[in-house]
Amino acid sequence: MRNTVPPAVDTDGFTQLYATYRPRVEGYIAARLPRRDSQLAEDLAAEVFTSLWRTHFAPGRTVTVDHPWGLLATIARRRMADHFRLARNTREMTSDMTSWQHANRAMASSDTGAWSPVNTGFRTARIGGAK
pLDDT reported for residue 66: 84
Contacts of residues 15-22 at CB distance under 8 Å and 24 or more positions apart, as own/partner, are: 17/52, 17/65, 17/68, 18/49, 21/68, 21/69, 21/72, 22/49
Q: What is the block-wise mean pLDDT of the chain (131 residues), using blocks of 10 residues?
A: 52 82 95 88 94 84 83 94 81 56 58 58 57 54
- Full-prediction pTM beyond 0.85? no
Instruction: Residue 51: count other Cβ atoms within 10 Å of its Cβ.
Output: 15
Q: Which of 10, 31, 27, 29 is nearest to 19 (CA)?
A: 10
**Residue ranges per structural domain of the chain:** 21-88
Identity of the amino acid at 117? P
Q: Which of 85, 90, 87, 83 is nearest to 42 (CA)?
A: 83
Contacts of residues 34-40 at CB distance under 8 Å and 24 or more positions apart, as own/partner, are: 40/83
